[in-house]
Chains A and B, each alone.
Chain A
Amino acid sequence: VCSLVLVQGVSVVTSSGPVEYPKPVPLHEQTVKDEKGRYQRFHGAFTGGFSAGYFNTVGTKEGWTPATFVSSRQQKAGRQNARPEDFMDEEDLGDHGIAPRQITTTADFASGRKDVIRDKARAITSLSAPIPGDTVLEDLVAPARSSMGVELLRKMGWKDGQGVGPRVKRRLCKQRADSATRAFGSASPPNGSSESQDEEDGEFLPENLTFAPKDVTPIDFTPKVDLHGLGYRGLNPLAALRGGPGAGHINLFTMDSDRTNSLFGEDRKGQRRRGGVAGQGFGVGAMEDDDEDIYHRDIMSNYDTVLGGEEPGDGLYGWTAPQQYNRTKKDHSKDAAYLGKILEGFTLASDKLETKTVGIFPPPNLPRDFRPVHYFRPVVDLSSVSPMVAQALQTSRGHMAQEAPSKGGRHQLDSAQRRELLGEATLQGSLLNPSRFAPHAEQQQQEALSVWSGPTAQAQTGQTFKPFERTPHKQARYDLYIDQLKQGDRDALELSLDPTMTEWERGRERDEFVRAALLYKPSSSSLSCRFTRGKQDDGVEADTVEVTRDQENDVDDKQAAVKMKMFGKLTRDTFEWHPDNLLCKRFNIPDPYPGSGFVGMPKVKRDKFSVFNFLTVSESPTASASPAPQGNKQSVPLYPDT
């Protein structure tokens, strides 16, 4: 269908037949206007009304243009006059014709499954391609895009390698357990433990944490329709035809799962010659990288003649070989296969571990409420607690009653008995212990009494600790208290308090004394002789300790030597020092360390702190040692004592 364009005053003649003429235009309207709408002037060339059928078209764009002419100069490529489908009839376009019309999915939306038709097409084209059997060009220009399904999945949160489906809880630990059992070869743990393990993980992981399901391994559904044995692979024509020294022995019977390989592996890596034919006559040219061995002679030993692989042994004895001979061979190969380090004189065991009586024991059954955190039991003096508690403690420790220490020998002692033997003071339990009950004031006093009135406390001569040194009155009272305690006086506390103080003050002092007495017990063990009081009082703030420069340990020896005027070995240190190459050149001296890129002192490393570190001007990186100047006078010299 052609469109009709009616321009006033112009008669259009179309291909589909004559058109009615337009209305006659009066003479005064028969004007010619140019493209801008201005009246066209003819400059006296044409004054008449003669139009020869083309009324007022002279000089216009449409004037002399033949109506039927369309320039195809620019559109030559796009012109497609006819397609093959134009010449086909219904039979051809039908299902069994030469160009059946089907609805297929476009490549965008196609799935990843192999398209049978597409493969067939590829196979057909490969025959006629310049390199027969190879679809190089198609693979080169294959568009890199993922199908729409993958895109959709990705948009919904799927990642490569995950499975598809609802998210799963606690999948991770189960897998861990499974892998653990596989790795160590032990019997699978009973269900109870795995459940508890799940609970454990549930404690440590947030509750609502889910995992994506594991991706399924595609099962190969291709049926086995041949009569070959399982695992039979046949001859790989590429490998066979390739030949050469790389071929070697071709093992027809392997335990690789070849079917999965054929499913997944499109092109095996390492295959040098893709498609085509390889071999002795091919690939040897001037441009080839590797020269094939063109004089290679194929040997028959590359090919199996008998099923079952190589005969073990060297073939001399056959299956009647003595056992000893066979076994050694086997062990050697096993040893070689073992990747770890085998000690001298040892070899890998021949039979597995399960068969031995000393096997792997299953892990213990944990109680339901077991928590893998250890709390140290408080060591409580049995005499100062209620009998019920004492009984409970005893039973928990595994003893039914307080037995004599010597029962069972000196190896069967528990810590309390050992403490008695050594004469040590009772240990304080851990402060973090939640089950430690808050001691009562009475009990505290009892404790203090028991500690101080013990035989070991008596041996202490003189009071070594003065907690209240600052207030001599208080200290005097405290001393009185301690003396009273030593004598075993129960009312020591009351007697030593100052009656002139208020009741509240006395109460406070009472508490303080008791606590001080408990805190600073006489250390009566044999270790006490190893300890002595520090020079400085712990109570006094000792944040300024004067260390004069001369007391720095590192230079003591040197200074002593200087004082004794023994210069020489004692005062001299020698270090390896690398001068800069340019410096040696300027001094006209051969570089003592030519290859060393290092400048300065390689073996001495120290960091220096000085205000000058921050004041240096534009240190260039080409300058050798880092410009870190000295420390202050009080710093300890950091030279190694040679």
Chain B
Amino acid sequence: RVSGVFHPLIFSRPTSFSLPVSFSPTLSLSPPPLSFSADGNYLLSCGSDKSLKLWSVSRGTLLKTYSGHGYEVLDADGSYDNSQLCSCSSDKTVILWDVATGQVTRKLRGHAGKVNCVQFNEEATVILSGSIDGTVRCWDTRSRKFDPIQILDEAQDGVSSLKVSEHELLTGSVDGRVRRYDLRMGQLHVDFINSPITCVCFSADGQCTLTSSLDSTVRLLDKSTGEMLGEYTGHKMKGYKLDCCLSSKDTHVLSCSEDGHVYCWDLVEGSLMLKLPVGKAVVQSLSFHPSETRLLTAMEGRVQVWGAEPEETEEDVVVVQQEKA
């Protein structure tokens, strides 16, 4: 399993919730058909081979491998200054890595089940992790304590996805609710979606949240009132935890689908703009470049970076394959 995520500089990616069956055994790096002069782009992939791999997107080369987890790595995130990485795994631990040396700085134990999602906060002082045990734990990276600062256990079922903004924490849970913890106001807002949530994310302007759930619907909700601003359907999301995201300027809504495509809707109108054929199997995760029009998709052991041509068509740019253990 492969996942990769775009980050301002380091792109890391959470993996999907369930395991696809087949893996591609070979490692091959095909030269990019189109060359980009995008320097400083990294890709972080975490896979079921229990390791974390740092790639260079522009060259498609593997830079470093981080091993230390006991089970498959489910999610990873990089800090803003690229000096640290955090990753979470099915072995119920969250690991804080030092990027340069590859050493494990901190192995944070406490979750009772596999940890589905992990993210740094803005200043990389806190790691937030959500787990299948229904808790979100906030770990302190500054101190040497191994206990979480706070445990949020309001979810009644596993936490499938979480996102952190500068003063808010957004979690989506399998119990069908999106919880937004506002640290500044000291409030918790719960939005009932009625179907297990697979992915949540903030919008770039901070006014809306995007939620995808297992009823094959992606919903855009207003953050302050909870009203639904847009609903996007057409894709297939029935059983797997697949990702959704917004484009960098909040113009489009993108979502994975179990039919091997990436669906792209216009945010305002809700109409399907693009159905990107990625492959035959389930597209597990995707991530949008923060500034450029680039999309990263992960499917079954292949991470693909898609770029936009001026004519609005997206073409294959780099294919990175990862060996499976």
Contacts and interface: CB of A to CB of B under 8 A. Distances in A.
Interface in A536-588: 555, 558-559, 561-563, 565, 567-569, 571-580, 582-584, 586-588
Contacts of B154: 601, 604
Interface in A160-198: none
Interface string A605-642: 00010101001111110111111111101010101000
Contact of B134 (A567, A599, A619, A629): A629
Contact of B135 (A572, A622, A627, A631): A627
A630 B134 CA distance: 6
Given A559-B194, A608-B156, A617-B111, 16 more contacts: A567-B226, A567-B228, A572-B191, A572-B192, A572-B226, A576-B187, A579-B186, A583-B126, A583-B150, A583-B183, A586-B123, A600-B152, A615-B112, A616-B112, A629-B134, A637-B175
Given A583-B183, A586-B125, A628-B153, A569 B140 contact: no
Interface string B242-277: 000000000000000000000000000000000000
B26 interface: no
A580 B149 contact: yes
Interface residue SS majority, chain B? loop
A575 B147 contact: no
B140 A575 contact: no
B193 interface: yes
Given A599-B150, A615-B112, A625-B152, A588 B123 contact: yes
Interface of B: 92, 109-113, 121-123, 125-126, 133-135, 138, 140, 142, 147-158, 166-167, 175, 181-194, 219, 221-222, 225-228, 231
A589 B184 contact: yes
B186 A576 contact: yes
A172 to B, nearest CB: 56
Query: Nearest 6 CB-CB pairs, A to B?
Result: A592-B186, A572-B226, A630-B134, A630-B156, A577-B188, A567-B228
A593 interface: yes
Given A615-B113, A622-B147, A569 B134 contact: no
Contacts of B157: 630, 633
Contact of B150 (A592, A623, A633, A637): A623
Given A567-B191, A601-B154, A586 B184 contact: no
A561 B181 CA distance: 23
A625 B150 contact: yes
20 contacts: A558-B194, A562-B192, A562-B193, A563-B194, A575-B187, A575-B190, A577-B182, A579-B186, A584-B183, A587-B123, A587-B125, A587-B167, A592-B184, A600-B150, A615-B133, A617-B109, A617-B112, A618-B109, A625-B153, A630-B157
Contacts of A615: 112-113, 133
B2 to A, nearest CB: 29
B227 A567 contact: yes
Nearest to B150: A580
A620 B156 CA distance: 22
A612 B134 contact: yes
Scoring B121, B126, B194 by chain A CB atoms within 10 A of each residue's CB, the highest score goes to B194
Contact of B156 (A601, A619, A624, A631): A631
A579 B147 contact: no
B227 A568 contact: yes
Contacts of A568: 222, 225-228
